[in-house]
Structure 1
C-alpha cells in the first residue's frame, strides 16, 4: 500500500473517501443525493473490508463505483478480489486503476490510490498460475473445450493461459464423447493437461454360424465364367442363324451350294456380309462352351458350406441360343 494510505486506519480512510467524493472531477453532472449515496456505500464497503468480509465489501464498493468513478474505490475493490482468490480479475482492476488519468487538481488520496494500484499489479501478476490445455486423439480445432463451464477459444488450445489458483474442471467434447479432467493449481504454478480421446475402432464383423456364408472368390469366378460363356454361346447362335439366312439368300440369287455366285451388285453385297459373319459362330461356340463348362465346374466344386446342397447345372446349346440349366 502507498505510504500515505498505509498509515491510515479504516475510519481515516473512510473520511478520505468522503473528502474525495465531495467534489469529484467527473461528478459535475451528478446530483448531491447520488454523491451522498456513493459515499455511504463506500464507507460501508470499507467497514466490511476491515472486518474481513470481502465478498460483501466488494458488492458495496462496486455499487459505489457505479455511481461515482474514483480510483480509491477501484483500489479497494481490487483488494477484495485478491483476498477472494480471484487474482485475474484483481490484476485487471489494479491495472485499470493504475491507468486512471489525473489532472493537476487531483487529491493526494487519488494519487496515492493510483500509485498503490500500479505497485499491486506488478506484485500480483507473477503470482497468477498458468494452465495449458492440449488435445490428443482428436483434431484440436474441432474439440469444444471449457474450463469450469466457460468455453475456451480454439486459438488457446495448447497455449499457456492465466487461471485463478484452486481446483478447476477441464472438459472437452468431440464426436459425441466428453473427456473430463480435474486439476488443482497453486499460486505461481505453471502446468499443462492433455484431454485424451480414446481411439475408437470399428468392430470387426464376424458372421455367426447361423448366418449365410459370404460369397467366395470361387463362386464369383464361377458365375463370371458361366455368364461370359453363355454370352458367347448366344452370340454364336445369333450369328449362325444370320449366316444361314444369308446363305439361303445367295442360293436364291443364283449362287451354288459352295457359294460360287454371279458377279452382280446385289450378290456382291450379300456375299460380303456372309463372308464376314460366317467366321464368328464356330469360335463363339467353342469359347462359350469352354467358359460355361469351366464356370459350372467351379460352382459344383465349391465347399459345401458355401453352396446349397444338391446343386446341379448343365449348359445347353442350339442354333438359336444357349444357356445354363440346373439348380444352384
Structure 2
C-alpha cells in the first residue's frame, strides 16, 4: 500500500512539472510566433540587430513570466518594446504589473493596448493581444482602491502632500484618486505649518478618505545679535609718518651733496678765472674761457638740484612730523575716550567730576 501511495505522489509531482514545462513552452512559442509574423512588414526602420535583440528579450521575458519572476519579466518585455513596438510586449508588461500588485500601472498599460488603432494588415498576434487586454482590464478596475486626500488649515494652498514619500499632485487633492491596495503614510511639507502623519491600510476595491489638518507653527525665536566688538584703536598707523621722515632725510642728503658739488665747482671756476687773469680782456685763451664756462654751468646745475633736494626734504620732514604728532594725539584721544577716566570740573560757584565709567 505504501509503495502505491509513493508512486502516486511521485506521479502527481511529475504531472505538475510536465504541465508547467508545457505551459512555459506554449507561452514562448506564442510570443516567438507573434514576433516572427509581425517583424517582416513593420521592421523596415529597425536594424537586424535590434529585431534579433527584441526577439531574444521577449523570449527571456516569457521564461521569467512562466517562472513567476514578475519584475524580471516586466523588465525584459520593456526592453524588448524599446527596440520594437509590439502589443504582446505591452500585454505581458501589464500582466507582470498586475502580478506585482501594481494595478494602476497595469491598467494604464492595458488602456494603451486597447486605444491603439490597428490597421487591417496588423498581425493576428497584435489583434489577439488587444482583445486579451480589453477583457483582462475588466478585472482590474474593481480591484483599484479610491482614496480622497483632503488638506485643511492655514497655508493649505501652498503645502505639498506626500504618499509614502512621493508627491501627490495638487490636482488630485479632494477627489477620489485610484491607488494600489496597500499601506500608505500621508505626510505634509509646509512652510510655517505642520500636520500629523496619517497611516492607512487600503484593501482592494476599498474607498477611503484621509484628512490632513495643518496647524501653524510658531517661528523659532531669533538668536540674539552677537555682542558688539570693542572699537578698534581709531588712531592711524605711524608708518606713513616714518616713511615721510625717511624720504625727507634722503632728500636733504641729496640736497647737501649737490650743495657741496656746487660750491666746489664754483670755487674752481673762480680760481681759474683769477689765476689766468681773465678779468683783463684777451688774457684768457678760448680753451680756458670754455673750461671756465663749463665749470660755471655745472656749478649752476648742482646749485639748482641742491635747492630742489632741500625743498623736497623739508616738505617731507614737515609732513612726517605732522603725521606723527597728529597720530599720537588721535591715539591718545581715542584711548581716553574708550577707557574709564575721571577729571575735575571747576566753574563759577561750582565744582564736580566728569569722566567715563
The answer, yes or no, to whether TM exceeds 0.5 is: yes
Give, in angstroms, the shift of residue 42 of structure 1: 0.5
Say if 2:208 is the partner of 1:194.
Answer: no
In the aligned structure 1, how far is the partner of 2:90 from the partner of 2:169? 29
| 1:130–1:189 Cα contact (<8 Å) kept | yes
Q: Give 1:184's match in structure 2, choosing from 198, 201, 219.
A: 201
User: Could you say which residue in structure 1 is the equivalent of 2:102?
Assistant: 86
More helix by share: 2
Give the number of the structure with larger relative contact order, counting CA–CA contacts within 8 Å between residues 6 or more apart: 1
Q: Distance in 2 between matches of 1:97 and 1:21?
A: 16
User: Structure 1 residue 26 and structure 2 residue 42: aligned?
Assistant: yes
Q: Find out whether 1:47 has 2:63 as its counterpart.
A: yes
Normalising by structure 1, report the TM-score. 0.55
- TM-score scaled to structure 2, two decimals? 0.51
Q: Distance in 1 between matches of 2:64 and 2:206?
A: 31
Asked whether the equivalents of residues 193 and 217 of structure 2 are also in contact (C-alpha less than 8 Å), the reply is no
State the 1:173 CA deviation.
2.2
- 1:200 & 1:34 partners in 2: Cα distance? 58
CA distance in 1, matches of 2:50, 2:191: 55
Match of 2:190 in 1: 174
1:107 aligns with 123
- Residues 192, 218 of structure 2: 8 Å contact kept: no
Q: Equivalents in 1 of 2:54, 2:169: separation in Å?
A: 38
Cα-to-partner distance string for 1:201-232 (whole Å, 9 max, x where unaligned): 89xxxxxxxxxxxxxxxxxxxxxxxxxxxxxx
Flag the 1:94–1:149 CA change in 2: closer, same or farther, 3 A.
same
Root-mean-square deviation (CA), in Å? 2.0
Q: Give 1:150 shift.
A: 2.0
Cα 1:201–1:148 change in 2 (3 A) is closer
- Structure 1 residue runs of 5 or longer lacking an equivalent are 1-7, 203-328
2:73 maps to which residue?
57
Please identify, of 17-26 and 189-198, the stretch whose mean Cα deviation from structure 2 is larger: 17-26
CA contact (8 A) 2:194 2:217 kept: no
Question: Counterpart of 1:106 in 2: which secondary structure?
Answer: coil
Segments of structure 2 that go 5 or more residues without pairing to the other structure are: 1-21, 220-357
